[in-house]
């Protein structure tokens, strides 16, 4: 009986290590795909030095000027004590329920933002090709 218990524990440990490695590999693949998408967008733009100088105007300075204000507000927001209690996420089921109930809107907004960025790059690229 003891041998069976030991074999079951060894099997559980092997499966746990396998699942952990699969999660790490999938995470690396997702991050790699995200970085590949960013490189694809940069290559799609095909921006030359002259076109970058022409696009740098007053609105660029306003955005750069508002960046310290944004960073300061984020710092203040994160430094204050939050009254929110940490959520006990016991497993994947609870994590999935938390992401797709409480965090559904931010999750969808980020995915829409990425989609709009890709469509915008494609539109800019086709606009430049049609002009020349």
Q: What is the pLDDT of residues 83-118, one digit of tens each?
A: 666 656 577 777 778 778 887 888 788 888 888 877
DSSP for the chain, please give it: -HHHHHHHHHHHHHHHHHHHHHHHHHHHHHHHHHHHHHHHHHHHH---HHHHHHH-SHHHHHHHHHHHHHHHHHHHHHHSPP-PPPP---SHHHHHHHHHHTTHHHHHHHHHHHHHHHHHHHHHHHHHHHH-
Question: pTM for the complete prediction?
Answer: 0.34
List, for residues 40-57, the tens digit of each pLDDT value: 777 776 666 555 556 566
- Lowest mean pLDDT: which of 20-29, 49-58, 114-123? 49-58
Give the pLDDT confidence score for residue 50 in this predicted structure.
59
Give the pLDDT confidence score for residue 97 in this predicted structure.
80
């Amino acid at each position: 009986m003891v041998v069976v218990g030991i074999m079951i524990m060894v099997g559980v440990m092997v499966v746990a290590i396998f699942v952990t490695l699969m999660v790490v590999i999938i995470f690396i693949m997702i991050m790699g795909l995200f970085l590949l998408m960013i490189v694809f967008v940069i290559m799609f733009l095909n921006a030359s030095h002259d076109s970058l100088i022409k696009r740098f105007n007053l609105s660029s300075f306003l955005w750069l000027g508002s960046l310290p204000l944004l960073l300061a507000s984020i710092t203040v927001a994160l430094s204050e004590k939050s009254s929110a209690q940490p959520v006990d996420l016991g497993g994947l089921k609870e994590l999935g329920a938390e992401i797709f109930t409480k965090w559904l809107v931010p999750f969808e907004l980020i995915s829409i933002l990425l989609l709009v960025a890709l469509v915008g790059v494609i539109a800019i690229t086709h606009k430049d090709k049609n002009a020349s």
